[in-house]
Amino acid sequence: MDPGPTDLGVVDPQQQQQRQRRPPSRYESQKRRDWNTFLQYLRSHRPPLSLARCSGAHVIEFLKYLDQFGKTKVHAPGCTYFGHPNPPGPCVCPLKQAWGSLDALVGRLRAAYEENDGLPESNPFGARAVGIYLREVKESQGRARGVPYQKKKTKKKKRKLLQDTAVGASIADDAAGASIGSSEAGEGSRAPPAGSSPAS
Ligand SMILES: [Zn+2]
């Protein structure tokens, strides 16, 4: 008699536990880091802000706060390089978080909110205002950077976005420890950028 594969169809609790203990995927660990960053942002918020009272407007405030740690040059309308995807020289325009990073970040936080017992109908990351804000960022960055976000390129772009996102979010993570709320407290501003992400 053929004993057959014994590990099929039988749920061995020990095996299942091991499966759950497997190291989380890149997405999962990124999501956890993002969520912790956001919670830390809430903790340092002045005036105090609880997760339950968090609205779409607060999420937008958080996204704007993250811009200071961005690495994407977004040209002002008055800049010579406005609309140039690859400017030949430097300029004084600010660095911001790329739209793709913010979009992916909001997606992860939206999922994390519900995984942490938040109700879908009160999910601030799903708020209409947040969607509108992201669309505005997408359009204005597209114009400023000369990057048309065309639907045709979605497949290639998705892979690129994932890379961008991992970088952008780990910066946000570092930043959260360093200087959230420093404009008022003035303490965090002296802290060095906590552990720069390893070059990969
Ligand atoms: Zn510029």
Task: Answer yes or no: is pLDDT of 187 > 60.
Answer: no
Ligand 1 geometric centre to CA of 105 (Å): 25
Ligand 1 geometric centre to CA of 52 (Å): 39
Ligand 1 geometric centre to CA of 94 (Å): 8
Question: For position 2, what pLDDT does the model report?
Answer: 53
Task: Answer yes or no: is pLDDT of 42 > 80.
Answer: yes
Contact by Cβ (8 Å): 174, 195: yes
Mean pLDDT of 174-190: 37
For 89-115, how does the pLDDT look when each residue is reduced to its tens digit (9 = 90+)?
A: 999 999 999 999 999 999 999 999 999
Separation CA 171–CA 152 (nearest Å)? 30
Ligand 1 geometric centre to CA of 73 (Å): 7
Q: Is the dihedral of CA 159, 147, 64, 116 positive or negative?
A: negative
- CA 155, 84, 103: angle at the middle one, nearest 5? 40
Task: Answer yes or no: is pLDDT of 50 > 50.
Answer: yes
- By the 10 Å C-beta count (0-12 exposed, 13-18 middle, 19+ buried), 51 is classed as middle
Ligand 1 geometric centre to CA of 88 (Å): 11
Question: For position 45, what pLDDT does the model report?
Answer: 96
Question: For position 16, what pLDDT does the model report?
Answer: 53
Task: Answer yes or no: is pLDDT of 173 > 90.
Answer: no
Ligand 1 geometric centre to CA of 31 (Å): 32
Ligand 1 geometric centre to CA of 175 (Å): 24
Question: For position 148, what pLDDT does the model report?
Answer: 76
For 129-150, how does the pLDDT look when each residue is reduced to its tens digit (9 = 90+)?
A: 999 999 999 999 999 998 877 6
Ligand 1 geometric centre to CA of 70 (Å): 15
In which band, very low, low, confident or very high, does the pLDDT at 23 lie, cut at 50, 70 and 90?
Answer: confident
**Domain coordinates in residue numbering, the chain:** 25-179
